[in-house]
Amino acid sequence: MYKTDMSTPDIHKACCPSRQILSRIGDKWSVVILSSLEQGPVRFGELKRMCDGISQKMLTQTLRYLERDGLIHRHVLTEKPLHVEYELSDLGINLLTLLNPLIDWVHRHCLHIAQSHTNFDNLN
């Protein structure tokens, strides 16, 4: 559970909620899911296809965390058959504007980093 005292957030303190928020944003799937929702609402099944390699259990769990954090909205649509859509909240959109430059950086440098891994592994 997050502590609510945010008078002076400090990511270096274990009890600071900012550390837990950063942990969520930095987990394996959150950025992928948030990026997948950038173009608008997406049904659960389509989201699972977009996030290649994620299990249904992990997708469900991560979506719940992101919804709890206020980064996404979940909508149950009553048309038949019933289905669920997810979309970014205003807070999620704001976060994604900060994450997109990071995603771009990763795309530009992933081959260089992979080469660094090879070089390091060959030396050790």
CATH at residue 53: 1.10.10.10
CA distance 17 to 1: 9
From the list 13, 3, 25, 16, the residue with the least C-alpha distance to 91 is 25
Domain that holds residue 45: 17-123
Q: In the prediction, which pLDDT does 1 show?
A: 46
* Mean pLDDT computed over 75-89: 91
**Whole-prediction pTM value?**
0.86
Residue 48 gets the label, from left (phi > 0), alpha (psi -120 to 50) or beta, of alpha
| Cβ atoms within 10 Å, residue 71 | 25
Identify each DSSP E strand in the chain by its residue range.
Answer: 42-43, 72-77, 83-88
97 is a domain residue: yes
- Is it the case that residue 81 has pLDDT exceeding 90? no
